[in-house]
Amino acid sequence: MADSIFARIINGEIPTEFIYEDEHCVAIHDINPQAPTHVLVIPRRPIEKLSDAGPQDQELLGHLLLVVAKVAEQLGVADAFRLIVNNGANAGQTVFHLHLHIVAGRSFKEGQLTGGLN
């Protein structure tokens, strides 16, 4: 996980425009968007997947959710977006560094899963 693409982005090894950043996380546009708005919120401290988080991560996880709300507001989608966290390969996770997908700008039906989000 130390060499994940997200770790390389956070460390500045892969030039990327952050649409949000603070001491705990960054937000970037997804390079393979599944909706008109598709942003990733990524913690700087790597956690492989959500189920690997422990009590020591509680504050960080709460912070990530507050950042999602800020970024959604910044992008003008605060009233209608979907938040997705894939947990493990069988759930579609391909980058094993926890990240939250903000997807918006198209209609999502109840019960409809959004494919292609890793």
Structure tokens that stand for 44 in this block: 């700087």
User: Which residue in the list 24, 63, 97, 99 is annotated as catalytic?
Assistant: 99
The span from the CA of 109 to the CA of 37, in Å, is: 17
Which H/E stretch holds residue 37? strand 37-43
Q: Count Cβ atoms within 10 A of the Cβ of residue 68 and give its class: 0-12 exposed, 13-18 middle, 19 or more buried.
A: buried
Q: Is 97 a catalytic residue?
A: no
Q: Return the active site residues.
A: 99
